[in-house]
Structure 1
Amino acid sequence: MGYRFTVADVAFLGSAEGVAALAEIDRLELTSASYLADVATARKQAGDRAAMLLETVLLRRKAVSKLDDSTRWLFTDEALQQATPSRVAEHRARRFTGRVVHDVTCSIGTELVHLRETADQAIGSDLDEVRIAMARHNTGASVVRADALKPVTKHAAVLADPARRDSSGRRKWRPADFAPPLDELAEVYRGRDMAVKCAPGIDPPDVPWAREIELVSLDGQVRESCLWTGDLATVGRRATVLKSDVDGWTITDAEPDDCPVTAPAEWIIDPDGAVVRAGLVRHYAARHGLAQLDPRIAYLTGMRPPPGIRAFRVIEHGRYSEKSLKQVLGRHEIGRLEILVRGLDVDPNALRPRLRPRGPREGTVVLTRIGHTPTALLCQAERIPG
């Protein structure tokens, strides 16, 4: 657990004196090698305020890869862990363009700051006084103290980000275990347009009130589901694939899903996890002229991979057994080996040492099931220009 900030701490950190004190602490390296000496220096410079200054500087440095302009933000450690990455928050905020919106669990304001850029009016609320003070500092928005389950607005669209961990830090998946519970949120705001940020593993039958379920990935990692209601929902299922450095894209169940099932072609394509979790593999295949290897497996194949992805050029394929795969690897002098698995009960970490790959070349083995046949495909991974 990190430093426990108070409202008075937030007031100091936002003052001219606090800004100057943070600048002094930020000059320290605060590496593992220098940390003890730096802490001693901070205590000499700031006395009793050293702990909160050190914590703030360290959290700002930690936030750089997650949030835009984090050098001016105030955080608690837990709030930063739970914060929505800026790229994801920007994407969501665009769907509230021109609306009046109320972020009913605004925390330190990582969603609210982007809502202010797109919405006609954006307000926030939370129960934690420290986070409220930090949100006001971070966003400049109107933030009030209110229980998310006791509405203080009447007609605004609603954004909610229920807590998804218990006190032990374990993730929760059941709708009733969120705080506030998902079904209670849906009931309280029935008839209102709403978006609820949720765990990516949520089971659609558990949230029948959600008109649209959007799976969102960032830089290849599935980050969340977003449950949309009312006029904010436009399709049943959506996958959104975001990148930190390039434009993202989206695909929905409103698109065609006609795609063939064929033998392996020149390339194997492993769709982004958001596409797979959203159940839109066939739609993705149809968009890019690809085929499925098996109708129950997410691997796709084709003569031309989509742009901007990492795809796998097929070198050789056949029925999978450890003995035959070992022979294939030896024949192609594969020493550095990546193993991808879908549809087979194979642990790549246990398999790799048994294969004893040796040689100067690098390869990727895709292990899957085609019909009833366990199949191994030796491939060369390539980054396709986007």
Structure 2
Amino acid sequence: MAYEFSIDDVDFLRSRYGTKALEVVADFTLTPESLLKEMPDLRARYGDRAAALVETVRTRRKAVGKLSDPERLLASDVALQQATASQVAAHRAADIAARRPGAVVHDVTCSIGSELMALATADGIGGVIGSDIDPVRLAMADHNLRVTDTAAPWLLARADALAPMSTADVVIADPARRNARGRTFKLEELDPPLLELMAVYAGRELVVKCAPGLDYRLLRDRFGFEGQVQVVSLDGGVREACLWSEVTRPSRRATVLRSDCDDYEITSEDPDEIDGPGVGEWIVDPDGAVVRAGLVRHYAHRHGLRQLDPQIAYLTGDSVPAGERGFRVIDQLGVSEKVLRGALAAHDCGSLEILVRGLDVDPDRLRKRLKLKGSKSLTLIMTRIGRAGTAFLCEPGVRV
């Protein structure tokens, strides 16, 4: 069960004594196993504050790679899970600054302030307001902003997201995507509910961060959403579907952010003419943001690729776009286990990555049934071309 911070905890952690205590606790191992021996010592030193210190240090460790300078931040484990990654937030802040230079931006569900920190440090943002109904998270946000080298002036207030309390140029919201049953993708089960949020801020520039599984087509067709849908990924993982209420063109945008190479974007206004289906030397699996935004053909056009099948997102061609993972085709096969087992034995395969799209196949169960005994590592891509199941035996994937 996650530790529940109190305002007193936050006040202690922000104090000079709490800051020193955090430095001491950071030298402990703090694994579930080590805590059995470490916790008595920590309780003897810090009493009732020991649990808050441990949770803070462990959360900071989890935040490495997600939030900038996590060793100075305050966050609970649950708040960290919900927080926007710094790289994603920074890209959005730059977007807003480019569209609305000097804008005042209000995050009405600011939580611990991950979005606020990016906004307050971005060039071109005129001011930042953060509000949240949770006083503990608001106190954490106050600390996190104070230890950040902010450029724009900022203000925090306790307020309900459905009760507007500013006239900011741009409003940002991130409805909670969990309820008592776990993660939810239903529009009416978000907190605050998405449709209520959009109604309250109708006529204002509203940016809403939603789960990547959001059915944005339903939002358009049934509820008349006319803005832009931006699907964002970071280092291969799709992070969110972002709704921009006052941005109508392009209607869809895939934003691919990467730590080790250049970012890129594909939009619905890019050309999408490509050659007919076929099989080239390489198979390319487009980034998830491109697939979820329905921009596979647009991406293929940009890189001179084509689809294996018009209804399947796998692409193929004679080269692999920079930064993407490609699979060099060795053989094209049927999908019966007898055929696959024979081909894998012939290629001396002992380790197999199985990728599936368009077929009802469980990769783990299939791998066990194939009884691999060879020495080589290979990749098997299983998909559908027309109505026929088809498998491609490939060299292990490489990132170009």
**Counterpart of 1:115?**
119
Deviation at 1:33, TM superposition (A): 4.0
Counterparts of 1:245 and 1:364 in 2: how far apart (Å)? Answer: 24
TM-score by length of 1: 0.96
Count of residue pairs the alignment pairs up? 383
Following superposition, which runs of at least 4 residues in structure 1 exceed 4 angstroms of deviation?
none
> Is residue 348–residue 374 contact of structure 2 (8 Å, CA) maintained in 1?
yes
Amino acid at match of 1:228: W
Q: Aligned to 1:381, what secondary structure does the other structure show? A: coil
Q: Sequence identity, in percent?
A: 52
Listed one character per residue, the Cα deviations across residues 43-77 of structure 1 (whole Å, up to 9, x for unaligned) are: 12112221211111111112113211011111122
Listed one character per residue, the Cα deviations across residues 282-318 of structure 1 (whole Å, up to 9, x for unaligned) are: 0010000001111011111101111111100001113
- In the alignment, structure 1 residue 199 sits paired with structure 2 residue 215: no
For residues 330-341 of structure 1, the aligned pairs below 5 Å read: 330-341=345-356
- In the alignment, structure 1 residue 176 sits paired with structure 2 residue 192: no
Q: Aligned to 1:240, what secondary structure does the other structure show? A: strand
Listed one character per residue, the Cα deviations across residues 90-146 of structure 1 (whole Å, up to 9, x for unaligned) are: 111111213210000000001110011222111100001111111111013411011
**Counterpart of 2:235?**
219
**Counterpart of 2:17?**
17
**Counterpart of 2:199?**
187
TM-score by length of 2: 0.92
> Is residue 308–residue 383 contact of structure 1 (8 Å, CA) maintained in 2?
no
Listed one character per residue, the Cα deviations across residues 241-264 of structure 1 (whole Å, up to 9, x for unaligned) are: 122333321111110001122321
**Counterpart of 2:340?**
325
Q: Aligned to 1:93, what secondary structure does the other structure show? A: helix
Counterparts of 1:147 and 1:76 in 2: how far apart (Å)? Answer: 21
Q: Aligned to 1:111, what secondary structure does the other structure show? A: helix
**Structural RMSD (CA):** 1.5
For residues 1-386 of structure 1, the aligned pairs below 5 Å read: 1-97=1-97, 98=101, 99-118=103-122, 119-140=125-146, 141-168=154-181, 170-208=182-220, 209-231=225-247, 233-385=248-400
Structure 2: gaps (5+ residues): 147-153
Counterparts of 2:61 and 2:41 in 1: how far apart (Å)? Answer: 19
Q: Cα–Cα, structure 1 residues 75 and 299, in superposed 2: closer, same or farther, change >3 Å?
A: same
> Is residue 333–residue 393 contact of structure 2 (8 Å, CA) maintained in 1?
no
Counterparts of 2:96 and 2:69 in 1: how far apart (Å)? Answer: 22
Counterparts of 1:63 and 1:104 in 2: how far apart (Å)? Answer: 23
> Is residue 339–residue 364 contact of structure 1 (8 Å, CA) maintained in 2?
yes
